[in-house]
Amino acid sequence: MMDTSIVEVINVTREVAWLPWAVQYFFLIGLSVGGVLLSLPGYAFAHEDWRKLGRIALLVALTCGLAAPVALLSDLHQPGRFWHFYVVLRPTSWMWWGSIIIPFYVTGLLVYAWTCFREEFQEQGRVDSHLAVLYRMAALGGGRDDRLIRSAGIAVLAGAALVALYTGTEVAVVKARPLWHTPFLPLQFLATALAGATGLVLVLNRLAADGDRDVERVANRLLAGALGAVMLFGGLWLALGLFDLERTHADALASVAGSEAWRVTAVWAVAATAVPFVIAVAKPVGTGLLTGLIAVHSAWMFRWTIFIGGQTVPKTGAGFYEYALPAGPDGLLGIVGTAGLWLFLLLAITAVLPTPRRAEPGPFHPIAAE
C-alpha cells in the first residue's frame, strides 16, 4: 500500500438538514406505535389481565401520537406549506406516503382511544359534578362496547403497521447515507420503539398510575423481550458488517467504524440495552422506573445517533462534520418544547380521565354489560 496522506484544506461543511425535531418525531411516533401494540391485548382483544397495562400503553400511544406530528411539522423549514403534500400525487416518495399515513393513523388512534375510554366517560358522567354532563356527551350515550373497540383496534393496528413501515423505509431507502441504507434499519426502529414504549409504560405506571406490581412485572418481561430483539438485530447488523457478509451493512459499519466517538456511542448503546435487559430479567418487580427510564433513553439515543450522527458523516468530504446542539428552535428548544407538549398532553388526559381504582373491587366494579 502506497504511503499517502491526505489533508482536506478547504471544503464545505454541510449542516444537518433533518433537525432534532425529526429525532423527536421518529421517537414519539415509534413510542406511539409501540403503545398501540401494547394496548391491543387488553382492549381490542378484551383480555382483562392486560387491561391495566393496556390503559397505560394507551396513554403512551395517545400522548406520543398527538405530539409527534407537531414535531414533524416543525422539522419542515416551511411548515406553513404543509398542504403542498396534499395537492400532488408523489408515490415515489415515502415521505409523501407518510403524509397520507399520519392523518390516517392519528385519526384511527383518536377513535380507538375514544372507544377504549368510553366506559370511563360513562362512569365519570355518573359522578355528581358540574362536568358530568360533558362526560356524558363524550360517552355519546354508551359505555363499553368490545366489538367497537376491536374494530377500531384493528384499524389503528393497520395504521400503526403503516407508520412502522413508512418511517423505517423512508430512511432506509436513502442510498446516499450508508448508515441508513440497510434492510435492518426498519426492524431496528420497530424493536427500539417497542422497547421505548414498554419503558414509558413502566415509567408512567409509577408516575401517572398506581404503580401496580403485576403491571410492572409483565411490562418488565415485555421490555426484556423487546430489548432482546434490539440486541438480536444489533448483533446481526454488526456481524453482517464485520464479516462483510452483506454489502450494505459492511458499508454502513465502514462509514463510522473509524471514529472514536462512534465507538464510544456503540458501547453506550450496548450498555443502555444490556443493563435494563439484565435488570428486567433478574428483578422484574421494584425496578420498573429504572429499567423504564433507561429503555426510553435508549430508544431516543438510537434515533439521535441515526439521524444527527448519521448526518455528520460527509458524503464526499474527509472525516466527520462537527455537530453542536444549538440552543434555539433548531436544537435544544425543539427537544424541550416537544417534551413539554408531551407532558402537557399527559397532564391534560390524566386530569380528564384519572386512573380508575380497579385494585379495590367495589359495588361499582365495571364489567362489560354484555
Partner 1 sequence: MDQSRRNFCLGFGAATVGAATLSPAPAEAVAAREGGDPAHRWGMVVDVRKCVGCQACTVACIMENDVPENSFRTIVSTYEVTEQGRSGTYMLPRLCNHCEDPPCIPVCPTGATFQREDGIVVVDNTVCVGCAYCVQACPYDARFINHETQTADKCTFCVHRVEAGLLPACVETCVGGARIFGDLKDPDSTVSKLVRERDPRVLKPEQGTQPRVFYIGLDPKFQGKVDGTPTLWRPSAQPHADAYVGKEHA
Query: Which helix (H) or strand (E) element contains residue 228?
Result: helix 213-242
- Is residue 208 within 8 A of residue 346, CB to CB? The reply is yes
Q: Which of residues 11-30 bind partner 1 (CB under 8 A)?
A: 11-15, 17-18
Binding of partner 1 at residue 92 (CB under 8 A)? Answer: yes
Work out whether 6 is an interface residue with partner 1 (CB under 8 A). yes
CA-closest candidate to residue 105, choices 37, 49, 5, 46:
37
Q: What is the footprint of partner 1 within residues 181-240 (CB under 8 A)?
A: none
Work out which of 41, 46, 51, 76 binds partner 1, going by CB under 8 A. 76
The span from the CA of 341 to the CA of 64, in Å, is 9
Helix (H), strand (E) at residue 141: none
Q: In terms of C-beta density within 10 A (0-12 exposed, 13-18 middle, 19 or more buried), how is residue 78 classed?
A: exposed
DSSP result, 321-360:
------SSTTTHHHHHHHHHHHHHHHHHHHHHSPPP--SS
CA–CA distance, 68 with 61 (Å, rounded to integer) = 10
Q: In the bound complex, what is the minimum distance in angstroms from residue 254's beta carbon to partner 1?
A: 10
Does 174 bind partner 1 (CB under 8 A)? Our answer is: yes
Distance CA 170, CA 167 (A): 5
82 binds partner 1 (CB under 8 A): yes
Residue closer to partner 1 (CB basis): 83 or 364: 83
Q: Is 77 helix (H, G, I), strand (E, B) or coil?
A: coil
CA distances from 187 to 163, 195, 230 (A): 13, 12, 9
Please tell me the distance from the alpha carbon of residue 195 to that of residue 223, in angstroms, as a whole number: 6
Q: Supply the minimum distance, in Å, between the C-beta of residue 25 and partner 1.
A: 12
Cβ at position 303, least distance to partner 1 in Å? 15
Are 38 and 196 within 8 A, CB to CB? no
Stretch that binds partner 1, among 28-36, 74-82, 204-212, 352-360 (CB under 8 A): 74-82
Nearest to 54 by CA among 127, 149, 182: 149
CA-nearest of 339, 72, 302, 286 to 194 is 302
| 1 is a site residue for partner 1 (CB under 8 A) | no
- Residue 81 found at the interface with partner 1 (CB under 8 A): yes
Stretch of 41-49, 171-179, 283-291, 336-344 contacting partner 1, by CB under 8 A: 171-179
For residue 243, the minimal CB distance to partner 1 (Å) is 21
Using rule CB under 8 A, residue 328 touches partner 1: no
Q: How far apart are CA 180 and CA 34, in angstroms?
A: 22
The residues in 305-324 that bind partner 1, with binding defined as CB under 8 A, are 311, 314-322, 324
Q: Which of 1, 3, 141, 363 binds partner 1 (CB under 8 A)?
A: 3
As measured in angstroms, the least distance from the Cβ of 92 to partner 1 is 4
Q: Which is nearer to partner 1, 99 or 355 (CB)?
A: 99
Q: What angle do CA 178, 313, 68 make, to 5 degrees?
A: 80
Binding mask 139-158 for partner 1 (x = CB under 8 A): --------------------
Our finding on whether 104 is near partner 1 (CB under 8 A) is no
**One symbol per residue from 260 to 299: x for binding partner 1 (CB under 8 A), - otherwise; what is it?**
----------------------------------------
State in angstroms the smallest separation of the CB of 96 from partner 1: 4
Q: Is 9 in the site for partner 1 (CB under 8 A)?
A: yes
State the residues that interact with partner 1 by CB under 8 A. Answer: 2-15, 17-18, 75-79, 81-82, 84-85, 88, 90, 92-96, 98-99, 170, 173-177, 180, 255, 311, 314-322, 324
